[in-house]
Structure 1
């Protein structure tokens, strides 16, 4: 591996937002590990070196298991001397009052105060983590941050040009096979001229040029396409601003063979210069001959 492995150690106070943080790093393309015992880490680094397939790792470390605490400190001390790893520590903190409020709201027990006072557990954890906090390159106080704001803070500090934090999925489908349950936007294009009724086009799909040209030559198609693209270009930035990591646009016709495939292809091609886009055709290889429409 030419470049060093990018490692972010996510640690901090229990209840300060580590779950939101690790989910954010997953969306940034990091390989995430939650609370791996330090004794297993040397073997993990060895496997990463050999595979050459993992370039970014986010490692969650906390005090759910106090038995490993000394090993955690030793591991962090050794990271600076490993030229294979470019390590940064992200420490998430919050005020005592805010941590108490969060635990009261979720009705969970603090990992260091399972049978005692909540404040005793918080104080003990803060004392134990002081050494790690002093080593952190970034300390984020989440006392007044919403989950969305914490996510934005992580993106601001760790997103790179190689990150795929937001991408668009364009999907064609056939209504007779059911709606795609993961779609954010669904458009019905069954009002467009149907190539199914043209004998020479019936057994082809929207990926074949004659079918694509037949669908696109219609004034209805062009009008729909132009207006829909204006809509998408206006609303996609809003989805990004809301912190979504992906947007799935589903284009449906009756059988998912002709019209939806052609439109999905054109829409995907048009959005590709603007965003990372993947275009797929769920039902393009399926046919129900009992239903004579496409």
Structure 2
């Protein structure tokens, strides 16, 4: 079988809807889910983009396209473009909507005119847009009313709808480091392992690192080590759940000791093992200062 025959057609999603209803938030959430996102594409370019995804094969497995009235007169061709695409491929259309009064408040909050406002009011622009979008809304596969959503709630809804089954909703990096080299600037939380005896003062262990089984055994045998791991992992679980609810996609828990070579390395790995089963979380471990002298 040739490579071309093995290629799976890309999944395509058209994101459209009312200005101010959250298209940018939806696009950002999809991008975080590793969709390839194209913003403000004229409907006439949808067919060439579909052709490109077929040529690219698995390189572009999931493509989301934001199409809206910023395209002005070009936008009128969207219903025809949707029909054309659906004859060739399964294409989903998501329409974001919100109540008129909510849209007015959102435009007033950012102090920007509606793209179809012209010399009228924001509400005039909204009414013109509803007329132009009527046919698109009627043929959408999914309509999301964002009237009661804030940006985090909308992003969470997009993740719920379009994340791959089983995909992690949050990536946790557990980072070991040495305090003498400074705090990691991107750390969300910092844990200090200097309450444990330092293997550096054991001549047999000094030249080894926390990745060595002897150092690991030494550190975990110290009073308080196991208790800390169990308690800290348990304390982090509701934090990780909250991050997912707030659609915070990444976090860093920094675990430090004096030089970042022994205690922090052991404890970072052990903490990762205890959090590996946290629902919706992908855990990875990095050692910032392990190679330093």
Give the structure 1 partner of residue 237 of structure 2. 233
Answer with 74-83 or 155-164: which moved more. Answer: 155-164
Instruction: Give matches, 1:133-172, under 5 Å.
Output: 133-172=137-176
User: Equivalents in 1 of 2:100, 2:166: separation in Å?
Assistant: 37
Give the structure 2 partner of residue 55 of structure 1. 61
Question: Please, which of 3, 7, 11 is the counterpart of residue 6 of structure 1?
Answer: 11
User: Equivalents in 2 of 1:75, 1:164: separation in Å?
Assistant: 34
Instruction: Give matches, 1:19-168, under 5 Å.
Output: 19-49=24-54, 50-83=56-89, 86-168=90-172
Give the structure 2 partner of residue 256 of structure 1. 260
User: Equivalents in 2 of 1:44, 1:164: separation in Å?
Assistant: 28
* 1:17 aligns to 2:17 (yes or no): no
Q: Which runs of 5+ in 1 are unaligned?
A: 288-294
* 1:278 aligns to 2:278 (yes or no): no
- Cα deviation for residue 41 of structure 1 reads 4.2
* 1:217 aligns to 2:221 (yes or no): yes
What TM-score results when the alignment is normalised by the length of structure 2? Answer: 0.88
1:177, 1:255 within 8 Å by CA — same for their partners in 2? yes
Q: 1:280 to 1:46 in 2, by over 3 A?
A: farther
Q: Which runs of 5+ in 2 are unaligned?
A: 1-5
Secondary structure in 2 aligned to 1:279?
A: strand
Give the structure 1 partner of residue 3 of structure 2. none
* 1:201 aligns to 2:205 (yes or no): yes
User: Equivalents in 1 of 2:267, 2:156: separation in Å?
Assistant: 33
Q: 1:202 to 1:36 in 2, by over 3 A?
A: farther
Query: 1:61-94, CA deviations, whole angstroms, 9 ceiling, x for partnerless residues?
Result: 11112142144333212221223xx321111111
Q: 1:259 to 1:76 in 2, by over 3 A?
A: same
Q: 1:70 to 1:252 in 2, by over 3 A?
A: same
Query: 1:180-211, CA deviations, whole angstroms, 9 ceiling, x for partnerless residues?
Result: 22222211111211122223332332122222
User: Equivalents in 2 of 1:114, 1:164: separation in Å?
Assistant: 44
